[in-house]
Amino acid sequence: MSVAAFFHVSRPFSVAEIAEATGAAIREARAAGAPPPVITGVAPLAAGHHGDLCFFFSPRYLEALASCRATACFLNPRHAHLLPDRIIGLLVDDPQRAMTLAASRLFPEALRPGSLFRGGGVSPSAIVHPEARLEPGVTVDPCAVIGPGAEIGAGTIIGPQAVIGPDVRIGRDCSIGAQASVICSLIGDRVIIHPGARLGQDGFGFARGENGWLKTPQLGRVIVQDDVEIGANTTIDRGATRDTIIGEGAKIDNLVQIGHNVVIGRFCAIVAQTGIAGSCEIGDHVAIGGQAAIGGHLKIGEGASIAAKSGVMRNVPAGARHGGSPARPLRRYLRGEALLDRMARRDKGDEAI
């Protein structure tokens, strides 16, 4: 059975071209019969072969580096002496960043999801309301639905069975994945929304009544600024009396829940299964680990970091690193965990220790 290759290199690149694009210094291979310096793919160290480009960033991968047969490898100059002579070294301060830049040159089509039907224009089975406005170059895959008054910018791709609600505005060069739904939202340029994501539905707003819960009208919108990426099956609720805002360049993983009125700053990174309760304000450049929970009406300062599985119940200052549940300064949390572990080890009555 043949192995499918879902992405293909745009063209072969010389090592010199890769070095120029990434700012790398070249350390030529010294072994006789070294392969020609042409790059046609990328691979992990253990699987690298002729024509491949890889990267090395930690001595823990020394065994894989020793057996690697790639043509070239990004690595920090302090690790240059570890590189086998047969491999061309590309010396950079940050090998992972350089690898990302190089892979983007080699496989540009992998940066943004395309039409699942490799077509252009509007599929005959798509339902586009006559009052919707599509700029030239919009692709609408089969069975997608675009409501009245919606506006979609040039170069945007709407995946199969996606739903774009009335009066939604989507900018240029966006990608809306299969079965995603976008209502009550304004979307900027170059935004990627992966399959199954939900934007603009009601926030979780209720008031106690005499005989149960009273639903609070959710009258705001979802505003997604330029260059945001939203993962599969993530949900972003629209605001109640103000907008839910996702700042420029933010990257949101799969299965994240963002409540109504939340403001996410610019260039934040939020990892999978995180939940952010309503009316939180997250500053710019904040990193939040997986399965973290952020309580409602809190403020996370610019540049702060929240460890995975944390339960944040108080405001977090700018630049702080917090972890644990309830979340507290990370060093204090780690010292507490170490102390508990030492106490447990001293418990002679526990036969499992």
pLDDT single digits (tens) 53-102: 999 999 999 999 999 999 999 999 999 999 999 999 999 999 999 999 99
Tell me the average pLDDT of the chain: 94
Q: Are residues 137 and 99 in the same domain?
A: no
* Residue 350, domain member (yes or no): no
Task: Return the pLDDT at 4.
Answer: 57
Question: What is the arithmetic mean of pLDDT over 26-41?
Answer: 75
% of the chain residues with pLDDT over 70: 95
Position with higher pLDDT, 345 vs 180: 180
List the CATH number of the domain containing 67. 3.40.1390.10
In 71-221, DSSP assigns E strands to: 72-75, 88-91, 127-128, 133-134, 139-140, 145-146, 151-152, 157-158, 163-164, 169-170, 175-176, 181-182, 185-187, 192-193, 198-199, 206-209, 212-215
The single residue listed with the structure tokens 């496989």 is 107
- The answer to the question of residue 347 being in a domain is no
Based on the fold, state whether residues 187 and 265 are members of the same structural domain: yes
Residues 132 and 105 in one domain: no
Whole-number pLDDT of residue 2: 42
Compute the distance between CA of residue 97 and CA of residue 101 in angstroms, rounded to an integer. 6
Task: Show the tokens assigned to 223.
Answer: 């505003």
pLDDT given at position 349: 59
Residue 350 has pLDDT above 70, yes or no: no
Classify residue 262: in a domain, yes or no.
yes
Q: Are 103 and 135 in the same domain? A: no
Q: What is the pLDDT of residue 35?
A: 52
Q: How many other CB atoms sit within 10 Å of the CB of residue 72?
A: 27
| pLDDT confidence band for 39 (50 / 70 / 90) | very high
Q: Where does 107-248 have alpha helices with state H?
A: none
**Claim to verify: residue 135 and residue 226 sit in the same structural domain:** yes
Number of domains in the chain: 2
pLDDT, average across residues 142-146: 98
User: What is the CATH classification number for the domain harbouring 275?
Assistant: 2.160.10.10
Q: Are residues 89 and 162 in the same domain?
A: no
pLDDT (mean) for 227-245: 98
pLDDT reading at 206 higher than 90: yes
Rounded Cα–Cα distance for residues 317 and 324 (Å): 16
The owner of tokens 């009125």 is 261
Q: Are 178 and 159 in contact (CB under 8 A)?
A: yes
Do 99 and 131 lie in a common domain? no
What is the value of pTM for the model shown?
0.92
pLDDT at 1 (0 to 100): 36
The answer, yes or no, to whether residue 353 has pLDDT greater than 60, is: no
Q: Which one of 78, 110, 142 terminates a domain?
A: 110
The span from the CA of 329 to the CA of 190, in Å, is: 36
Instruction: Give the domain extent around 97.
Output: 13-110
- Contact predicate 313/306, CB 8 Å: no
**pLDDT range class, residue 49, cuts 50, 70, 90:** very high
Q: Starting at the edge strand that comes first in sequence, how are the strands of the sheet with 321-323 ordered?
A: 139-140, 157-158, 175-176, 192-193, 229-230, 251-252, 269-270, 287-288, 305-306, 321-323, 328-329
Per-range mean pLDDT, top range of 6-20, 33-47, 295-309? 295-309
The catalytic residue among 260, 285, 297, 322 is: 260
Two tokens, residue 163: 């739903």
One domain, residues 103 and 131: no
Gap between the Cα atoms of 277 and 294, Å rounded? 6
Phi-psi region of 320 (alpha: psi -120 to 50; beta: other; left: phi over 0): beta
Binned at pLDDT 50, 70 and 90, residue 145 comes out as very high
Structure tokens at 224: 């997604």
Q: Are residues 139 and 192 in the same domain?
A: yes
260 is catalytic: yes
The pLDDT of residue 184: 98
